[in-house]
Amino acid sequence: MMRRVGVEEEFLIVDYVDGHAVALGEVLDHLSDDDGLSSEMKQEQIEACTLPRISLEELAQDITAHRLSADSTARSVGARAVALATSPFPVTSTATPGLRYERMIERFGLTAVEQLTCGCHVHVEVESDGEGVAVLDRIRIWLPVLVAISANSPFWNGADSGYASYRSQAWNRWPTAGPCDIFGSAQAYHAHVDDILSAGVLLDKGQIYFDARLSHRHPTVEVRVGDVCLHADDAILLAALVRGLAETAAREWRRGVEPVRVPAAQLRLAAWQAGRFGLGGELLDPQTSRPRPAFDVVMSLLNHIQPVLKEQGELSIVEFLLFQLLARGTGADRQRAAFASAGALCSLVADAVQASSVPATLLRGPAEPSLLTSKKKF
């Protein structure tokens, strides 16, 4: 039985004419879980959550429909919803009303005030907390590669940050954000969380912002490292890769294969490298922590989960989506190209709105076979 997988995407709300972030205001009060939409900490963003799905085709339908729904909601205030992980323009964001958000801003100061970032979180079903922690311990070395694949936030405060994913830099200012060391058991995981909460720094369990964690609401492992992907296809790819990693890890655990013991400090270096360069340079090899061309590291990830993908009938789809990404570039690549072409951030945003609304390839007919072996970018 394949594991169900779900995706949470956060979108930026922008003025389509000038590209600046705008608040949804009272519209947020009318969002419904039936539409898969909900508010976030800032009024300039909106979150869409798919149902737990088995097939990638169903996931593609949800992601495409929710992107359209989020955009329709934004249009009600004369704006658009766009899959940008940071605002290219400077922005003074507006907190969503509510006691929890008020307390977060009071407690965490500028970190919370400036926190207008949009991520893509992937939930993968697990049988138990024990299995979930076994998965966390074994996928942790691969998470920086997912940062590079999803990179979609090069601009910050009106300028090119120099990073492919500056969201990952802004996000990691939260006290619990980032990689964890190996837990070894569900008991050790929960004891670690309890120790953090007892320190009194966080407001609640919802602020356990590990790169990957056990969800406190669902029987899932939640991988939280990704930028919201500019293209729907890349969000589907991210979900497929996470599910492949989770299933591979669970099988290793059942066979008694120990996790690779890379220190969390080394994984933080790998994540920084991935956020800085995306797929445009070198990444740190997950098993050796030495720099290698990004293409080689991505292929190592694909080879690692290939047996599971092949068995579950998803290998050709994942290969297509992955090589499509490698051929055209990440969202960060497209943002920079759009800005270089027009020389204006508003044109970049308009291009991103268009790219965000393109339906997933899985809903548009068969993949182009020639792309399955395309390695032109590298």
Q: Is the pLDDT of residue 367 over 60?
A: no
Residue 373 pLDDT class (50, 70, 90 cuts): very low
Domain holding 146, by residue range, is 5-373
d(CA 23, CA 361): 31
Q: What is the pLDDT of residues 80-131, one digit of tens each?
A: 999 999 999 999 999 999 999 999 999 999 999 999 999 999 999 999 999 9
- Residue 11: which CATH number? 3.30.590.20
Q: Is the pLDDT of residue 370 over 60?
A: no
378 domain-assigned: no
Q: Is the pLDDT of residue 369 over 70?
A: no
Residue 35 pLDDT class (50, 70, 90 cuts): confident
Quick check: pTM over 0.85? yes
Percent over 90 (pLDDT), the chain = 90
32 domain-assigned: yes
Q: Which residues contact 70 (CB under 8 A, 6 or more apart)?
A: 11, 37, 46, 48, 81
Q: What is the pLDDT of residues 285-296, one digit of tens each?
A: 998 999 999 999
pLDDT value of residue 29: 80
Longest dimension (CA), the chain: 57
Task: Tell which residue, 25, 7, 107, has the closest CA to residue 64.
Answer: 7
188 domain-assigned: yes
pLDDT value of residue 364: 74
pLDDT value of residue 36: 86
Q: What is the pLDDT of residues 344-365, one digit of tens each?
A: 999 999 999 999 999 999 987 5
Residue 28 pLDDT class (50, 70, 90 cuts): confident
Mean model confidence pLDDT for the chain: 94
- Which residue did the predictor score with more confidence, 310 or 27? 310
Residue 372 pLDDT class (50, 70, 90 cuts): very low
pLDDT value of residue 198: 97
Q: What is the pLDDT of residues 169-220, one digit of tens each?
A: 999 999 999 999 999 999 999 999 999 999 999 999 999 999 999 998 999 9
Q: What is the pLDDT of residues 136-180, one digit of tens each?
A: 999 999 999 999 999 999 999 999 999 999 999 999 999 999 999
Q: Is the pLDDT of residue 375 over 80?
A: no
Q: Is the pLDDT of residue 316 over 50?
A: yes
pLDDT value of residue 31: 83
Tell me which long-range contacts 128-134 makes (C-beta under 8 A, separation of at least 24): 128/186, 129/186, 129/189, 129/190, 129/214, 130/185, 130/186, 131/250, 131/253, 132/186, 132/214, 132/219, 132/220, 132/221, 133/183, 133/184, 133/185, 133/186, 133/188, 133/189, 133/214, 134/249, 134/250, 134/253
- Which residue did the predictor score with more confidence, 368 or 283? 283
Q: Is the pLDDT of residue 26 over 70?
A: yes
Q: What is the pLDDT of residues 257-285, one digit of tens each?
A: 999 999 999 999 999 999 999 999 999 99
340 domain-assigned: yes
Q: How many domains does the chain have?
A: 1
d(CA 71, CA 88): 18
pLDDT value of residue 283: 98
Q: Is the pLDDT of residue 73 over 60?
A: yes
